[in-house]
Chain A
């Protein structure tokens, strides 16, 4: 039968080995050669947009890359689906956006410049290669297929 000592070695050994592999895979997949995100295309405006996205906790309702709340639509590739003008109008409007007559979005009343930053952020995100998820999320797949 397994002894306590052996069980301890199993724990420490297994942890050390998998942790090492994990770190190596992390370094490998974040390396420049493996970039799927167009990192060099990230503009100052898009970075500001990301800050606005975080400060307003947009992720509390929406998903992006499939992460966030499940209350409001996925926003990966939203610019391709809705167009810049509509998105900016929603973000700048003093009236809560309410397309289905049920759920409302917070009326953020952003300035034109802020709304533009958010759009730039979405555009950058829309160009990230998500290993197939980008082509699946509804309803843009209507266009792609």
Chain B
């Protein structure tokens, strides 16, 4: 590392890893429930497990993005963070939101204050009071970054795109806080958060992180890398904003969205394709001298797997004619897993593998364990995706074409969840190896400062 204050990043990554482990635990609970083993129902019913699983996902990714930003922004701006003290305050309040949310989802202790335990809208379940805490937390985070950039010597394209993505992500949280009486409106604006995040502004965050990693790891000229960064994020918004329409086909709004959403969302994979080509080509062009092969593996892996999970598997059900049949089935779960994994989980994990040696001064990369972690996690996730996919297609066929009753179909599908659990086990072994690596690096220390 170049600046002492970059050490803050470590603790955000550590929080990420902790929440990832918890997220996986809840995944297993649901996997078993779907196999007919719902023994925890009394304490953790499926809906509680599900909300916990997906909210933990969002929080650990955000924590990872924040850690990445606290590392990248000082380095790009060539200055220490504006305030490490406030950064730690922000870290602790983020962890607090996470803890309160998880406990609250399980035990409705807020009832004593007359608060609601849950808002019950997928991905936006946390209650209003916590929304405000999140808002305060994110504002603090953005202020710290902004002050750092202002006092810094340089403002690079990479840091602007990263910061822009983070600001836009914060703003887009707001439409999810408006309440409506109509379920149609509710759904309409839920997508302003969920879709415009993952298929819009989060891609800016990913692009910024990817650009930073490519600059550091390939040695290709910054100007070239940043030029393509603009092209990638340009394609993202060009397709992704109007692509929101692919969620408006069947929720009770005008069918003009079938045309607009169909056309523009079908273009969305181009942004992910551009991302993959960009990463691979920069790597090819580079000198291939950087010793941190593990970070390179995760970086290229993220660019490629996001194209498969978001681009290819997204395209598979995005046209209105197909989506009519697959809408709200396990096909969606198939796509959701590989897309989130490739695009956002893997980019955070790439960043961690790049940053840890720099923060701790230990060069543990490119070991058998770190390679095994990468390949097992990916093999596991691909197996899980396949299990969801086969179950999803079978579900669509039996339920929506043959008109077999929902419950009967689900009983038929249980065997696919055995495959899911096996895949999830392989995945978990990979993640365990990754976390062992994480722990072996030890704590960040000032001796790792580069002069």
Contact = CB atoms under 8 A, between A and B. Distances in A.
Central interface residue in B41, B248, B254, by most chain A CB within 10 Å = B254
Central interface residue in A60, A137, A141, by most chain B CB within 10 Å = A60
A29 interface: yes
B50 A60 contact: yes
Contact of B255 (A121, A131, A138): A131
A141 B223 contact: no
B340 to A, nearest CB: 16
Central interface residue in B157, B186, B238, by most chain A CB within 10 Å = B238
A36 B253 contact: yes
A54 B120 contact: yes
A14 B241 CA distance: 10
Interface stretch (A16-24, A83-91, A110-118): A16-24
A39 B252 CA distance: 11
B406 A65 contact: no
B371 interface: no
B122 A59 contact: yes
Interface in A95-131: 96, 99-100, 102-104, 106, 121, 124-125, 128-131
Contact of A102 (B242, B400, B411): B411
B120 A59 contact: yes
B183 A64 contact: yes
B154 to A, nearest CB: 16
Nearest to A8: B230
A37 B252 contact: yes
Given A55-B116, A129-B252, A70 B328 contact: yes
A15 B234 contact: yes
Contacts of A65: 183-184, 187, 250-252, 328
Interface string B28-58: 0010011010100100011110110000000
A65 B184 CA distance: 9
Contacts of B233: 11
Contact of A60 (B47, B157, B226): B47
Given A29-B253, A30-B185, A133-B250, A71 B34 contact: yes
Contacts of A3: 227
Given A22-B242, A70-B333, A141-B403, A104 B228 contact: no
B244 interface: yes
Contacts of B327: 66, 133
Nearest to B333: A70
B177 to A, nearest CB: 13
B407 interface: yes
B258 A10 contact: no
A29 B256 contact: yes
B328 A132 contact: no
B447 interface: no
B47 A69 contact: yes
A4 B325 CA distance: 43
B357 to A, nearest CB: 31
B265 to A, nearest CB: 12
B69 to A, nearest CB: 20
A108 B422 CA distance: 34
A89 B446 CA distance: 65
A7 B230 contact: yes
A73 B242 contact: no
Interface of A: 2-4, 7-8, 10-11, 14-15, 18-19, 21-22, 25-26, 28-30, 34, 36-37, 39, 42, 47, 50, 53-61, 63-74, 96, 99-100, 102-104, 106, 121, 124-125, 128-133, 136-139, 141-142
15 contacts: A11-B234, A15-B238, A28-B256, A34-B254, A37-B252, A60-B45, A60-B47, A65-B251, A66-B250, A67-B187, A74-B406, A103-B36, A132-B250, A133-B250, A141-B403
Interface of B: 30, 33-34, 36, 38, 41, 45-48, 50-51, 116-122, 125, 157, 181-188, 190, 223, 226-228, 230-231, 233-235, 237-238, 241-242, 244-245, 248-258, 260, 264, 324-325, 327-330, 332-333, 399-400, 403-408, 410-411, 414
Given A47-B181, A138-B403, 6 more contacts: A4-B223, A102-B407, A102-B410, A124-B183, A130-B250, A138-B399
**Shortest Cβ-Cβ A-B pairs, 9 listed:** A60-B47, A66-B328, A133-B250, A7-B230, A54-B120, A11-B234, A100-B407, A66-B327, A29-B254
